[in-house]
Amino acid sequence: MSDSMLNLSAMQLDAIREIGNVGAGNSATALSQLINKKIDMDVPSVSVVPLADVPDLVGGPDTMVAGIFLRVYGKAPGSVLFLMPRESAFYLVEHLLGEQKSADGELTEMDQSALMEIGNILAGAYLNALSYYTKLTLLPSIPAMAVDMAGAILNVVIVQLGQMGDHALVIETQFLSEDDGINGHFFLIPDSGSLQIILNAVGVK
């Protein structure tokens, strides 16, 4: 079953895109309420990419990003990643904690904790919508966070998938706040096998 995801039909891709749309819509609303700003989101893109190319989705393996990572437990396990440039992480911290950050400053433990909580809320909103839509129980793990090279952060997800295949199905949504302060990418990456469960749940063969 390793790389059967390479042969998805147009109808299946549409269904996955719609699932991503519902989840991301819920997340965007949650984020908007948190920082009291309008948040725009893209139509989710669904792609099946070779594992080695996953870091290119966020500007290459060398790009520095802030990443919040959660595992999804339940009927269709997978990984959720919220990646954003460092500036966006600073912006979020400023709006949440009301503190001014200098551009070359570091994220304190308090800042990181606040960002993880955002990841928690966004992933929770996303998975809630997904659960509702598919009637599958999906629960987020405790979030973890790192500010580092995109490639290194994505390793966590890639390793998981690498045992089963050489491709990843990536459901990606871009968030943009009205003042351009936040430019984040939200990734849902189902484990191998989970995709079929999700598709079955929404009745797409």
| Chain residues that interact with other proteins, rule: CB under 8 A | 2-3, 51-52, 55, 60-62, 64, 69, 71, 141-142, 144-156, 158-160, 162-166
141 vs 183, which CB is nearer to other proteins? 141
Neighbours of 12 (CB within 10 A): 19
14 vs 53, which CB is nearer to other proteins? 53
Residue 41 to residue 73: CA distance in whole angstroms: 26
39 vs 71, which CB is nearer to other proteins? 71
Least distance CB 162 / other proteins (angstroms): 5
Least distance CB 59 / other proteins (angstroms): 11
61 vs 181, which CB is nearer to other proteins? 61
> Of 150, 152, 154, 191, which Cα lies nearest the Cα of 169?
191
41 vs 195, which CB is nearer to other proteins? 195
Least distance CB 153 / other proteins (angstroms): 6
> Of 167, 202, 168, 172, which Cα lies nearest the Cα of 188?
172
Q: Residue type for 77, please?
A: P
Least distance CB 132 / other proteins (angstroms): 27
Least distance CB 20 / other proteins (angstroms): 23
Neighbours of 105 (CB within 10 A): 12
CA atoms within 13 A on the CB side of 82: 29
> Of 116, 122, 118, 119, which Cα lies nearest the Cα of 24?
122
Residue 95 to residue 102: CA distance in whole angstroms: 14
> Of 101, 144, 147, which Cα lies nearest the Cα of 123?
144
